[in-house]
Amino acid sequence: MPAILGAASVMTAQDLAPLRPPAVPLVACDPYFSIWSPQDRLTDGATTHWTGKSNRLECGVKIDGTAYQVMGKPAQGPPPLPQTGLEVLPTRTIYQFSGGGVALRLTFMTPALPDDLEVLSRPVTYVTCDAVATDGKPHSLTLDFSASGEIAVNTPNQAVRTEAVNDVDGLSVLRVGSVMQNVLAKAGDDVRIDWGYLYLAAPKAAVSEAVTLPQPGVDGPGSKAVLGMTFDFGKVGTENVSRWLMLAYDDLFSIQYMKSNLRPYWRRNGWEAADLLKASAKDYEVLGKRCAAFDEELSADLRKAGGEAYARIGALAYRQCFAAGKFVADAKGQPLQFCKENHSNGCISTSDVFYPMAPQFLFLSPTLTKSFLVPFMNYAASPRWRFPFAPHDLGTYPHANGQRYGGGERTEENQMPVEESGNLLLLFGALAQMEGNADFAGLYWPQLTQWADYLKAKGFDPENQLCTDDFAGHLAHNVNLSAKAICALGAYGKLCAMRGDQAKADATTKLAKDFAARWVKEADEGDHFRLAFDRQASWSQKYNLVWDRILGLGLFPDEVRSKEMAFYRKSQNKYGLPLDNRKDYTKLDWVLWTATLTQNREDFDALVAPVLRFIQETPDRSPLTDWYETKSGRKVGFTARPVIGGVFLQMLYQKDAWQKHAARDRTKASGWAPMPQDGAARQ
């Protein structure tokens, strides 16, 4: 695919204000183990779970006997050590502090390395503190780090039990977990985990004291429980002194899929928490180097493809996308990934959520992309699913036992037939392009063919249906949804050709081209194209058109994209391009898709710059929302959703970049069962 064309001024880091995320990722492993700092400085307030509930991590230092706060804000406590810098990279968040003659660097590293699922699936975040004297004099330094027991419960009053774990060689280990241990009992959106165990671990030689509150064996509410460790740096001089620790969460079982409880992927070969901690400690130095190299390379790729503003958005989105899902192992040890529809209803494996999420996965790893398609497609292929179109979801996280949205699997009411069927055909087409073959599509060919047939009959002029933007309500004759169906048929035609069925490929491609020609005429509104075929003086973002160029379908003329882009550029508000003419709100992921349509750098920059402005200035302090007001910069809804991975759509035009990542895939999983496990048809 071509790189972005057209001349544009190059925006560098020096040209932009320092990054001020709405919330800063600290621990970003999965929907339950996800801790953020929703303020400018790490000492401005307590750290929280992505839902906004308290998940306190605290850190303080003593420099020559004088106490300073570094993380968290106790009701009564020492003054904060002045924060001098913040950098958010794909796998690391780095804070800088300076005071008392010492400079501190606090690094939170979650090794979300896409080519290594062994590491990516580990629920571990490393916290490293580096210290160096700034005045040439030696200074004594100790550091206290603590984690609250509320991280291991849904509500702070739930009873927990702390423990010192003494059988992990070379490590000082503390843990806390709920007393009840109701594994996988709860499902929902605004809920936190209350089973499994939170671990705080560090090399024994570096820990001068390790304590728990309450004492081991004494139960108490999670909000009062603390795991704490003290680290003595000795005398800090002009050479760097470093100490590190690990935060880990063993959830025992992660997902219930068709009534079977599945282990996290890292546990698939019988590992226990001790094995996880020992392996993670052993890998600390190597992973530090790998994460630094990955961050540098990915940031450079993002910068090359879309400039400094784009690189910043991509870095902030990266961990959020992975942290909204969980990698587990099926009965054969193959990886399955289940994403959570955070803060929009709690559904699991939602197809109109993993559709916008998919660019991050497609860009980085075909294997990771397959891992979230397999459980969805196995359900769609089972006798449970009776409709001629694709499902919407698999249930409510962490229970993937069958669709819940819109009346579930027993009624056609409030489904998204064109939306979901188009989503799956497009994703299978994109995956086949990344791999150079359609072998994976062959596992589910009857379903893909059925959905293509549905789109042939219903896709060009959609009935009064919901689309992924369901918050806007039902809409008949949706022009953007029609574009999705047309591109999806083009993708199906491409899959047919790759599978050797040229006759069907030719017929489907011809139909898609005929539909596209009709679309251009019937949706035309002079200087742009309509929101709905029957609505004059209307408009909408046509983000679904991106696949025409990415997949090389050749369905729509370039003039369509150019005309739309010119209209978009004059229709923007301070914080971005509205979704359509009905409201001033927008979707961050869709704006980043729309920005790529012409592959002209000036167009791209024009649409991306207001999005970065929103990120910098929104008064709502939470992990990135994807639904916000373009005039006020206020969040409408949706927090910490995986759809933010959609900002990587621009990278799918960069063939050299995505081929590089595909070649590095260490997992190479290929043994998924094409049909569901026995339990899938029982319920």
Tell me what the pLDDT averaged over the chain comes to.
94
Per-residue pLDDT tens over the stretch 140-190: 999 999 999 999 999 999 999 999 999 899 999 999 999 999 999 999 999
- Within 13 Å, how many C-alpha atoms sit on residue 485's CB side? 31
What pLDDT, on a 0 to 100 scale, did the predictor assign at position 670?
Answer: 66
How far apart are the C-alpha atoms of 292 and 296, rounded to whole Å? 6
Residue 545, classed as helix, strand or coil, is helix
For 666, phi then psi, to 5°, come to -85, -20
For the domain bounded by 24-294, which CATH number is listed? 2.70.98
Enter the DSSP assignment of 374. H
Q: What is the per-residue pLDDT for 302? A: 98
Q: pLDDT per residue over 546-563, tens digit each?
A: 999 999 999 999 999 999
Q: In what order do the strands lie in the sheet with 197-203?
A: 83-88, 92-99, 102-109, 124-133, 241-250, 197-203, 171-178, 159-165, 220-221
Tokens of 39: 């303020």
The structure's pTM equals 0.95
Dist. CA 249–CA 229, nearest whole Å? 17
* Average pLDDT of the residues in 554-578: 98
588, pLDDT greater than 80: yes
Alpha carbon 575 to chain centroid, angstroms: 22
Does 171 or 675 have the greater pLDDT score? 171
Residue listed under structure tokens 């924060």: 83
- On the question of pLDDT at 669 being above 90, the answer is no
Whether the pLDDT of residue 251 is over 90: the answer is: yes
Using DSSP, state whether 351 is helix, strand or coil: helix
What digits encode the pLDDT tens for the residues 9-60? 456 667 788 999 999 999 999 999 999 999 999 999 999 999 999 999 999 9
The token duo for 572 is 């923007």
In the numeric block, the tokens 């301070």 are attached to: 574
| pLDDT(569) > 90 | yes
671 CB-contact burial (10 Å; exposed 0-12 / middle 13-18 / buried 19+): exposed
DSSP 31: S
Using CB atoms within 10 Å of the CB of residue 607, give its burial: 0 to 12 exposed, 13 to 18 middle, 19+ buried.
buried
pLDDT bin (cut points 50, 70, 90) of residue 674 is: low
pLDDT band at 278 (very low <50, low <70, confident <90, very high): very high
The sign of the dihedral angle between the CA atoms of 569, 573, 576, 581 is: negative
Of the candidate ranges 34-38, 593-597, 670-674, the one whose mean pLDDT is the lowest: 670-674
Domain ranges of the chain: 24-294, 324-681
Q: Distance between CA atoms of 343 and 346, rounded to whole angstroms?
A: 6
What average pLDDT score do residues 586-610 get?
A: 98
Question: Which tens digit of pLDDT belongs to each residue from 386-424?
Answer: 999 999 999 999 999 999 988 787 777 778 999 999 999
Q: How far is CA 201 from CA 272, 273, 525, 578, in A?
A: 15, 11, 62, 47
**CA–CA distance, 57 with 150 (Å, rounded to integer):** 10
pLDDT at 1 over 50: no
Please report the pLDDT score of residue 3 as a whole number: 39
User: How many residues are there in the chain?
Assistant: 683
Tokens 């055909």 identify what position? 425
CB 103 within 8 A of CB 96: yes
Backbone angles phi, psi at 220, to 5 degrees: -165, 170
**Once rounded to an integer, what is the mean pLDDT over residues 348-377?**
97
Q: What percent of the chain has pLDDT over 70?
A: 96
Pairing of strands 124-133, 102-109: antiparallel
Calpha distance 577→593 (Å, rounded):
12
- Please give the pLDDT value at position 437: 95
Residue 464 or 550, more confident: 550
Q: Which among 147, 254, 152 has a CA at the least distance from the CA of 200?
A: 147
Residue 534's CB is within 10 A of a number of other CB atoms, namely: 12
DSSP state of 583: -
Give the pLDDT confidence of 213-242 residue by residue, as tens digits. Answer: 999 889 999 999 999 999 999 999 999 999
What are the structure tokens assigned to 463, written together?
A: 């009935």
Of the candidate CATH numbers 1.10.645.10, 3.30.1370.60, 1.50.10.10, 3.40.50.11540, the domain formed by 324-681 belongs to 1.50.10.10
